[in-house]
């Protein structure tokens, strides 16, 4: 087991290195960042000074090594725009995004999986057809447009929920959380729902397809022949079997939900990293872009490793060193 973990971590490290190089070259090699930092009518002297200060006069590979060296020390540079360390900037925004994403993904799973199992168990029932229609809509309607509709319906016309912002937060261990106040939940509800819809659709499809296939297998037939009720079969046999692909998707989708938060955060003015990256793209604030991408890549790699480990916990066949 330990060997397996070490092997996975080494792989993860390699992927991270490759990703950081790609991101670095992609972001630094194209265009000229110096034009963003200084005003166009600055003198050549000021220009050269600025270039030297940000290390932009060195060859690309040297810049990369400096970047990696700094990265290992937890220093990802300073934002051109905010003038503060990027790590600090991102860390101040990250809790808001994590909170939004977690609520969305967990909500989508808790509601989507049972509905999907039902739709797979009784595929011809009207309820199953309604569930599937909802999931097709959730899949195909762009997130940003649903967000607009939500704001229009609940904030502009209904006046029930706020259209944007984060609301009251409570500080726990120095991190601000909205989920601990009623006002915070009010602000969180619409963006979380918006972000959850796509994942909900995915969870419904995944568990429906899994259940439909499993219902035809001999495992279910044998359980039925042994007198188990359908409810028990769904809860104990089917749920346990489909939980394997669901955990995978949960993990992988957590990452992509984090990315999609970019759109939701922009619509609902949610002060997370997603909004930060859009702003930094618009202002060509490269250190922020690089740091964000490296962070996302790191998150992805971490999640992948975590998914592999949970996988092994759920599926006894994959547990290394447990063969008889």
Partner 1 sequence: MSALLEVENLATHFFTRAGVVKAVDGVSFSVRPGQVVGLVGESGSGKSVTGYSLLGLVDPPGRVVGGSIRFEGQDLVTLPQDRLRAIRGRRISMVFQDATATLNPVLTVGEQMLLVVKAHEALSDKAGLSLALDALGRVGIPDPASRLRSYPHQLSGGMRQRVAIAIALLHRPALVIADEPTTALDVSVQAQIIHEMRELVRTSGTAVIWITHDLATVSSLADDILVMYAGRVVESGPTRTILRSPRHPYTLGLLDSVPSRNPPGVDLPQIPGSTPSLLSLPPGCPFAPRCGFATDVCREMPAVSQADGRTWRCHHPRGVAA
Partner 2 sequence: MTSASPFAGAWREFCENRTAVLALAVVVLIVLAAVLAPWITPQNPYDIGTLSLMDARRPPGYVGSGGYVHWLGTDAQGRDLYSAILYGLRISIQMGLAAGLVSLVIGGTLGIVAAYAGGRIETAIMRVVDLQLSFPAILLALVLVALLGQGKTQLTAALVAAQYAYFARTAYGAASAERRKDYVEAALAIPLSGRRIVFRHILPNVMPPLIVVATVQIANAISLEATLSFLGLGLPVTEPSLGMLISNGFQYMMSGRYWISIYPGVALIVLIVAINLVGDQVRDQFNPRLKR
Q: Which residues contribute to the site for partner 2 (CB under 8 A)?
A: 15, 26-27, 30-31, 136-137, 139-145, 148-149, 151-152, 156, 163, 213, 252, 255-256, 259-260, 262-263, 266-267, 277-278, 281-282, 284, 289, 293, 296-297, 300, 304
Q: Within 13 Å of residue 6, how many CA atoms lie on the same side as its CB?
A: 3
283: tokens are: 């202002």
Helix (H) or strand (E) holding 234: none
Report the nearest approach of partner 2 to the CB of residue 22 (Å).
10
Binding partner selected for residue 180 from partner 2, partner 1, none, CB under the kind-specific 5 to 8 Å limit = none
Binding partner selected for residue 5 from partner 1, partner 2, none, CB under the kind-specific 5 to 8 Å limit = none
Rank residues 53 and 224 by Cβ distance to partner 1 and give the closer one.
224
Binding partner selected for residue 278 from partner 1, partner 2, none, CB under the kind-specific 5 to 8 Å limit = partner 2
Residue 213 has a CB neighbour count (10 Å cut-off) of: 13
Report the nearest approach of partner 1 to the CB of residue 319 (Å).
9
Report the nearest approach of partner 2 to the CB of residue 231 (Å).
25
Rank residues 255 and 271 by Cβ distance to partner 2 and give the closer one.
255
CA dist 258 and 303 (Å) reads 12
| Residue 27 burial (10 A CB sphere; 0-12, 13-18, 19+) | buried
* Residue numbers at the binding site for partner 1 (CB under 8 A): 216-219, 221-229, 232, 236-237, 240-241, 244, 314-317, 322-324
123: tokens are: 């595929």
Look at residue 172 and give its three-state secondary structure.
strand
Report the nearest approach of partner 1 to the CB of residue 131 (Å).
20
Rank residues 54 and 260 by Cβ distance to partner 2 and give the closer one.
260
Report the nearest approach of partner 2 to the CB of residue 36 (Å).
12
**In this structure, what is the dihedral angle of CA atoms 222, 228, 229, 234, given to the nearest 10 degrees?**
-60
CA dist 278 and 209 (Å) reads 36
> DSSP letter at 317?
G
Rank residues 16 and 312 by Cβ distance to partner 2 and give the closer one.
16
The three state secondary structure string of 53-80 is: HCCCCCCHHHHHHHHHHHHHCCCCCECC
CA dist 271 and 71 (Å) reads 25
The H-assigned helical ranges of the chain are: 2-28, 34-37, 44-53, 60-72, 86-121, 126-140, 143-150, 182-215, 218-225, 230-232, 239-267, 273-282, 286-314
Look at residue 177 and give its three-state secondary structure.
strand
Rank residues 45 and 218 by Cβ distance to partner 1 and give the closer one.
218
Report the nearest approach of partner 1 to the CB of residue 126 (Å).
17
Binding partner selected for residue 218 from partner 2, partner 1, none, CB under the kind-specific 5 to 8 Å limit = partner 1
Report the nearest approach of partner 1 to the CB of residue 224 (Å).
6
Look at residue 180 and give its three-state secondary structure.
coil
Report the nearest approach of partner 1 to the CB of residue 238 (Å).
9
Binding partner selected for residue 263 from partner 1, partner 2, none, CB under the kind-specific 5 to 8 Å limit = partner 2
Rank residues 47 and 212 by Cβ distance to partner 1 and give the closer one.
212
Binding partner selected for residue 255 from partner 2, partner 1, none, CB under the kind-specific 5 to 8 Å limit = partner 2
């Amino acid at each position: 087991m330990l060997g397996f973990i070490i092997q996975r971590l080494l792989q993860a490290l390699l992927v991270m290195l490759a990703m950081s190089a790609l991101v670095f070259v992609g972001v630094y090699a194209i265009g000229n960042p110096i034009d963003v930092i200084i005003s166009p009518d600055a003198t050549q002297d000021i220009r050269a000074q600025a270039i030297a200060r940000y290390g932009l006069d060195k060859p690309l590979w040297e810049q990369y090594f400096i970047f990696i060296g700094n990265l290992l020390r937890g220093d990802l540079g300073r934002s051109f725009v905010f003038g503060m360390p990027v790590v600090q900037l991102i860390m101040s925004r990250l809790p808001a995004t994590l909170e939004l994403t977690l609520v969305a993904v967990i909500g989508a799973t808790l509601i989507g999986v049972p509905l999907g199992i039902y739709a797979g168990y009784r595929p011809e029932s009207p309820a199953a057809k309604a569930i599937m229609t909802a999931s097709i809509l959730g899949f195909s309607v762009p997130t940003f447009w649903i967000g607009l509709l939500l704001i229009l319906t609940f904030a502009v016309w209904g006046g029930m929920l706020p259209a944007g912002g984060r609301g009251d937060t409570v500080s726990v261990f120095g991190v601000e959380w909205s989920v601990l106040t009623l006002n915070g939940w009010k602000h969180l509800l619409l963006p979380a729902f918006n972000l959850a819809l796509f994942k909900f659709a995915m969870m419904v499809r995944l568990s429906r397809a899994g259940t439909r296939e499993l219902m035809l297998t001999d495992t279910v037939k044998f359980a039925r022949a042994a007198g188990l009720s359908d409810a028990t079969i769904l809860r104990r046999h089917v749920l346990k079997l489909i939980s394997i692909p669901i955990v995978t998707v949960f993990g992988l989708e957590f990452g992509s939900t984090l990315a999609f938060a970019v759109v939701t955060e922009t619509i609902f003015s949610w002060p997370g990293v997603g909004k930060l990256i859009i702003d930094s793209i618009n202002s060509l604030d490269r250190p922020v872009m690089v740091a964000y991408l490296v962070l996302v890549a790191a998150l992805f790699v971490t999640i992948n490793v975590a998914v592999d480990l949970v996988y092994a916990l759920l599926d006894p066949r994959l547990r290394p060193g447990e063969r008889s």
